């Protein structure tokens, strides 16, 4: 039941060429978009609203109350400077948000290290806390 969660994260794939992150933040009553290229925020928000509406009708058998909800895409979202690091940026956005961080403390220059750290974490089935 997504409606019992504080935040629901979703990876977003743009036409099989780019990854971004989105979140349904029930705690803050907002739809969130985190994209290292700043693409298609409006479409992401539209799809998230549609999903919540349909899921609520399906699970709760009534319309979802969108009163007080907003769309949010922070200007401070780190941007990639190439065409191949979107997946790493997406994973880093979701990890930071899941840890309760309000800001992102990485940039394009950190991506080689973050990519290696992610490989270590996946291989060891453990998230590092020394970031």
- Which residue(s) pair with 34 in the sheet? 21
- Which residue(s) pair with 25 in the sheet? 7, 30
Tens-level pLDDT at each residue, the chain (131 residues): 999 999 999 999 999 999 999 999 999 999 999 999 998 799 999 999 999 999 999 999 999 999 999 999 999 999 999 999 999 999 999 999 998 888 999 999 999 999 999 999 999 999 888 75
In 26-121, where do the E strands start and end? 30-34, 70-72
Give buried/exposed letters for 30-44 (b at 16+ CB in 10 A, else e). bbbbbbbbebbbeeb
Pairing status of strand 70-72 against strand 30-34: parallel
Residue boundaries of the structural domains of the chain: 2-124
**CATH superfamily of this structure's domain 2-124:** Adenoviral Proteinase; Chain A (3.40.395.10)
The structure's pTM equals: 0.91
């Amino acid at each position: 039941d997504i409606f019992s969660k504080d935040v629901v994260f979703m990876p977003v794939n743009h036409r099989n060429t780019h990854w971004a992150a989105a979140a349904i933040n029930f705690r803050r009553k907002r739809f969130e978009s985190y994209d290292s290229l700043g693409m298609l925020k409006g479409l992401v928000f539209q799809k998230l609203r549609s999903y919540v509406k349909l899921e609520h009708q399906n699970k709760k058998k009534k319309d979802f109350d969108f009163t007080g909800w907003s769309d949010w895409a922070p200007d401070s979202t780190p941007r990639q400077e190439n065409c191949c690091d979107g997946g790493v940026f997406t994973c880093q956005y979701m990890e930071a948000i899941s840890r309760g961080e309000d800001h992102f403390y990485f940039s394009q220059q950190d991506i080689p290290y973050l990519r290696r750290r992610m490989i270590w974490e996946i291989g060891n089935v453990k998230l590092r806390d020394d970031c």
